Structure 1
Amino acid sequence: MDTAPIVVHRPRGTGGRRVTVRGQIIGLARSDKDLVEFLRQAGIDETTAEDLVASNSSLIEWRGGRAHEYEAA
């Protein structure tokens, strides 16, 4: 089980990061803007989603790379 309900997985070789909410894939984010949009589509209002991403909330777990970086190393 994930430690946070929102997980941003390691950057893919082609860029972008898979995003899951409670274990369900919701999209491939290529920017914080994409991440906010996916969270909005998952039912989180836009202002809250923006705050979660900008504040590095503990509700979001960034795996296999630095937070807010979407390109493969």
Structure 2
Amino acid sequence: MASVKPVVVYPPAVDGGRRVRVDDQFLGIAYGPLDIAEFLRRAGIEDADEAYVAATGLIEWRGGGPGAWAADRDGDSA
């Protein structure tokens, strides 16, 4: 069984994409939790899905959690 390494999801870019990294390996740009789930499946976590991404302690979220996907470009507040 391979050891599981922490996943880092960086803050959203202007286009809403978030860089995803494990150790020194860049996995890609995610535009939603399903993208992260796919990266995790490719890394060997076969049961990864959107619920897993939202709940796992394996992911270190930077600049917002699993619901943050768009950079605030104009400072709007509701």
Give TM class, smaller chain: 0.7 to 0.9
What CA distance in whole angstroms lies between the structure 2 residues aligned with 1:59 and 1:26?
Answer: 15
Verify: 1:53 aligned to 2:76, yes or no.
no
C-alpha deviations, 1:26-50, integer Å up to 9, x for none? 01000111110111112211x2x22
Aligned to 1:63: 62
- Indicate conservation of the 8 Å contact 1:52/1:60, yes or no: no
- Output the TM-score relative to the length of structure 2: 0.73
Residue 15 of structure 1: how far off its partner (Å): 1.4
- Indicate conservation of the 8 Å contact 1:8/1:19, yes or no: yes
- Indicate conservation of the 8 Å contact 1:52/1:59, yes or no: no
Higher helix share: 1
Instruction: Give the number of equivalent residue pairs.
Output: 67
What CA distance in whole angstroms lies between the structure 1 residues aligned with 2:42 and 2:65?
Answer: 24
Aligned to 2:71: 72
Aligned to 2:21: 20
- Output the TM-score relative to the length of structure 1: 0.77
Higher strand share: 1
Q: CA-atom RMSD, angstroms?
A: 1.6
What CA distance in whole angstroms lies between the structure 2 residues aligned with 1:68 and 1:39?
Answer: 18
Aligned to 2:37: 36
